[in-house]
A and B are shown apart, each in its own frame.
Chain A
Amino acid sequence: MRVERSSEWKEGFIERLENRKEFDNWTLYQMCYDMERAKVIPEFHGLQSPKHLPNLTPYAHQLEAAETVIERMNGKAILADEVGLGKTIEAGLVLKEYLIRGLVKKALILAPASLTNQWIAELNQKFHIPAIAYNKKYNLDHCPIVVTSIDMAKRSPHKEMIVQQEYDLVIIDEAHKLKNPKTKNYEFVQQLKKKFCLLLTATPIQNDVFELFNLISLLKPGHLGNLETFQSVFSASKHHVEEDEFLKELIQQVMVRNIRHETGIEWTNRLVQIIPLEFTEQERAVYSMISKLPVSDSFTLLTLQREMCSSQLSAVLTLEKLHQTSVQPEVRFQIEEILLKLTELGIHTKAKKALELIQNADDKVIIFTEYRATQAYLQAVLHAKGITSVLFNGKFSKNKREWMKQLFQGNAQVLIATESGSEGINLQFCHHVINYDLPWNPMKLEQRIGRVHRLGQTEDVHIYNLAIQQTVEDKMVELLERKIGVFEKVVGELDHILTDGKRSIS
């Protein structure tokens, strides 16, 4: 075993012995030794940063994750903990550790716009890291730790300014937005010069295993060969993915994933159930009419079917648009007929059920819907029954989001959110979630549930997934189950999102 030594000190010592140079100051000599002692890394395992963070008490799984990233993954990793386990803390620990070891001097954090302030506050307050918000007036050469949103960063002139910098560490929050290599987001991240990189996402696979290929390729370009070879290896064996040890091994090399019930923390229960519903006779008739519409575009038809399963109002809007663009008088006539029937329907079956669930819960409830029209419809239905509600969607500004959250916490019983509202708000004070419409992507369910079932939740959480039988929603449930299956084979276990297995589906 070769041992490196340097004769530098000896040479300096000789100069002093021969009176060619002065000896140094005793205080600085002692400070030098003390400083080295403070910096020493006494074990192969373990982090130095917690010693320097007296006000932070991380959970064991968070420390372990940060350790694994540094020791095992050389700072290139996907942090894929389930939602609500504190990925931000893990990333902060990694950043702090590298700063202490002098391996990172410049870092860039890319987070959704709604979360940048939260990142800055946490890094400053919990980690004593002086992170600042990106501002194009600043000279980035003098900003060691910068936080910004990817949507801002990828646009000129910010893009050019940021890409010019050499970052030691880039942290990307909600990294599932980078699954598609053909997007501007992906291209931008590819261009960043980075030594270490952390991708944070609870949902590294949303639809198929190639998304993982794209994420890993950002961390380690070239590690997986190219997409063609990867595809040929894995498409051919799509059905025995689980047998493929190499994929598992690879995932172990780049991914840390903590699962709620393995963290050793006492979690409140997550009670998930699918609530199967039956259309009324009149609704069923309208649904059949919609299904028989001679629309050439199957996507439009599917949308209409899903909307009919959500609310009359959302179907009406699409039908009216279709009416305007249809040229065949026959089609226009059919649409008019459907529109007429729609107006004759009573409260939508699902809305009735939601109402009942809210009344039984007698507590705060979040409703997630896929449609803005349904959002408005539900608010009206609830209002008629004297139930207060606030709306929430992704287009709201930071201030408005915060205000809506306050209103929900304080005055309103129900928060009605659209899909784009499901990121980055933490609502542990609420214990009931109604998935009024199901999304195509199971990970969206996980993200939604993660808003309430996270660290800090003190009560059991009830999740109600509404699905109308003998409609397109049956197929959606089936598809969701299949996708959950793929995820569990490749990434590992997933907490209950669709049903908790204890209740039967029908």
Chain B
Amino acid sequence: MRQQEIHQYIQRFFHENNCGVLDSSYDHLTVQLTIDMDKRIMNRPYYWSYVESGGVEPNPAKLTLITNPSQFSTSMAGERIHFGSPRLHQLFQVTKEQGAFVQMYEKPGLGQATQVTLTPWLGVNYKITYSSDRTKEMLYSLGMNLMNGAVIDGFQESVRKLELGPSVAANTYYLPYNIPPLRALDRLEDVMGNVVNQDDHTWVEEAKQRQVRDLRVLDYFYTGVEDVPESYAIEKKAIEEQYETTIRIEIINGGLFYLKTSLL
């Protein structure tokens, strides 16, 4: 993310969370947090338990975020935000919690006279992580047509272009699904399992070889040492953990989509 994108992200984030912008420029953004947002990100549970028990007027914080790097080393007051700063990670985390499940309906579009029929889809965004001493991540955005069971990849990119709303529009109606969403979810999980199974896993073998090499060097420096010190065990464990290989499949977010546009 470039700095402007970060600035935009933050602006949208607070806007969606009803935190008013008090002041903003090319360099910075000052927002008035809501009580809820203050509790989520300001990490001051004592203050809030005090407010709630004592009946004191709650005073949620104002936050100034500086997004232009050329202001980082000036005396401008506020938190310096860059891709990698803990505050941005935290906002990402909150976004993740707040954007995990949706149910969306495609809008009929202007001038649509006749009745519109919407087809139900389950859309799920996955992340696969391979990790050893190195990491590789892959995103998959799967969608399953809940009428006929067809599965497509790149679902998110497709629905992004559509006009969607959180409730069904007038003059449209949707088909009840043939395939229950939870069963569809299980099938998408299988699809992901197959993706992993069919992938090339030479990386596992390579990580093992690197581990063997490291352990060999470690052992070399302890050959002939009678009382092996504790540090040996610690270092050995660290090497084993460093090269341990794991595969993780996780869901970023997902939901039900009722679409008039055919995606196949």
Q: Which residues of A contact B (CB under 8 A)?
A: 1-6, 9-10, 12-14, 16-17, 21, 23-33, 35-45, 49, 52, 54, 71-72, 74, 96, 99-100, 102, 105, 120-121, 124-125, 128-130, 144, 220-226, 229-230, 233, 246, 249-250, 253
Contact = CB atoms under 8 A, between A and B. Distances in A.
B166 A26 contact: yes
B7 interface: no
A24 B101 contact: yes
Contact of A14 (B84, B96, B139, B182): B182
Chain B: interface secondary structure? mixed
B182 A10 contact: yes
Given A129-B84, A249-B213, A249-B217, A31 B99 contact: yes
Given A130-B72, A222-B234, A17 B181 contact: yes
Given A36-B252, A52-B83, A71 B134 contact: yes
Nearest to B203: A44
Interface of B: 1-3, 9, 12-13, 16, 69-70, 72-73, 80, 82-86, 89, 92, 95-96, 98-104, 125, 127, 130, 133-139, 141, 156, 160, 164, 166, 181-182, 185, 189, 193, 196, 201, 203-204, 210, 213-214, 216-218, 220-222, 224-225, 229-232, 234-235, 238, 242, 245-255
B232 to A, nearest CB: 6
Contact of B247 (A4, A17, A29, A224): A4
Contacts of B135: 41, 44
Given A38-B1, A249-B213, A13 B185 contact: yes
B215 to A, nearest CB: 11
Contacts of A52: 1-2, 82-84
Contact of B85 (A12, A38, A130): A130
Contacts of B80: 130
Contact of B242 (A2, A74, A128): A74
Contacts of B139: 36-37, 40
A74 B131 CA distance: 13
Contact of B182 (A17, A28, A128): A17
- Most central of A21, A33, A38, A230 by chain B CB within 10 Å: A33
Contacts of B96: 32, 35
A49 B83 CA distance: 9
B251 to A, nearest CB: 4
Contact of B82 (A21, A129, A230): A129
Contacts of A130: 72-73, 80, 82, 85
